[in-house]
Structure 1
Amino acid sequence: VLDTEAEPGFAVMRGLALHKLLQMLPGIAEAERREAAERYLKRAGSQWPESERDKALASVAAILADSRFEQLFASSSRAEVAVMGSLEIKGKLRSISGKIDRLAVTSGKVSIVDYKTNRPAPAALADVPPAYVLQLALYRALLQPLYPRHEVSAALLFTEAPRLIELPPAAMDDALARLTGA
């Protein structure tokens, strides 16, 4: 961050491009999405090999076409939702803020999804880095008071597979308990 000479690596640039596409494409008519994605990738990935642009496009297209993810990208869902609040961590009130990649609120349920571009994508929850679980546990803890009559669920969407790994409430509760000392 402090080294203005260094440029972000390919993995970072690819991850940013996939996030942007998943943020913007659901708001574009389905018939126009592919062309819009190709235009964006030509600009954002102008230095990438064409095969990498094709892979990125295929990943995003597969996610948006997958009926398992339909509710996440419905017109009622939102992208890039800022969340902030305070949580008691080891006896001290701490400010927490972040950005939820995708938030879907339905009758009785709030779904939080964070995109990850890991290569290869983890196969199961046991392979997910603990920091990812903690990140979503914190988001969930901030949202629960805002939606007291809703179940707040969280999942990681690994764009490479694509694979959605839902985080069990117990796993998030454990991650939060380790952080807060509760």
Structure 2
Amino acid sequence: MTAATPPGWLRAPAPAEARPPRPLAPSALGDDEVSDPPPSATMRAAAERGRLLHQLFERLPDLPHDQRADAAERWLAGAAGVEDAALRRRVTRDAMAVLDDPAFADLFGPDTLAEAPIAAVVGTQVVAGTVDRLCIGKAVVRVVDFKTGRRVPGDVGDIPVYHLKQMAAYAAALRVILPDRWVEAALLYTAGPKLFVLPADLLDRHKPGLGAGEQSLPHEA
């Protein structure tokens, strides 16, 4: 009885395993042609204000309207550890200016999601991130990102490109996740407050993988 000849593949080296695409985090997109200066005290204060506003937008909408301002002050003084009373008043005022505006009421309704994680493969690019507000309707999905910096664009043409890239990536991912819904993306600049609903053709021009500038996709509030 002769031993069976082993198949050739048994001693052949294993083929190289394809490396999965690096996930794209839309909130980390920036203008990679501009070097950021070291953060100044003003910049750090603005970043902290933005962080606090994001936290309040997540916590306050479930409360009755007449309790929100007091709850904001208590949270800022307690859990957030904001000792500066003037800062607490300013942040509370800015949060209430958005939450009490009827124009933005549908962004904070009971059927909306705060800090909602999303992930999808768009073409060959993995897009993963957390959106500030997600409103899922039967026909329309609305994704909104809050921008809490002091600069408010005059119109859509003044919106920074990296903000457009961020929202285009979110919109593209949601179209994959919910292909039967129309996806609407918007930016809410809280210093206005001013809401920009981004045209679909503008999002398409900035979606992941398009154009030379989009090949090197690397949050500003």
- The TM-score with structure 2 as length reference comes to 0.71
Greater fraction strand:
1
Unaligned runs of 5+ in 2: 1-40, 217-221
Which residue is 1:94 aligned to?
A: 125
Which residue is 1:18 aligned to?
A: 53
TM-align CA RMSD: 2.0
| Aligned-partner Cα distance in 2 for 1:180–1:12 | 28
| Aligned-partner Cα distance in 2 for 1:105–1:94 | 24
Mapped contact 2:141–2:184 kept (Cα < 8 A)? yes
Structure 1 runs (4+) greater than 3 angstroms displaced: none
Larger Rg: 2
| 1:145 to 1:95, Cα distance in 2 relative to 1, 3 A | closer
| Aligned-partner Cα distance in 1 for 2:151–2:169 | 25
Greater fraction helix:
1
> How big is the shift at 1:45?
5.8
Aligned residues between the structures: 170
Unaligned runs of 5+ in 1: 1-6
Mapped contact 2:120–2:174 kept (Cα < 8 A)? no
Which residue is 1:157 aligned to?
A: 188
1:66 aligns with 2:101: yes
| Aligned-partner Cα distance in 2 for 1:55–1:126 | 29
Identity of aligned residues (%): 32
- The TM-score with structure 1 as length reference comes to 0.85
> How big is the shift at 1:73?
0.6
> How big is the shift at 1:47?
4.6
Alignment of 1:22-171 (within 5 A): 22-43=57-78, 44=80, 46-48=82-84, 50-88=85-123, 93-171=124-202
Mapped contact 2:114–2:134 kept (Cα < 8 A)? yes
> How big is the shift at 1:118?
1.7
| Aligned-partner Cα distance in 2 for 1:175–1:46 | 38
* 2:192 alignment partner AA: A
> How big is the shift at 1:30?
2.1
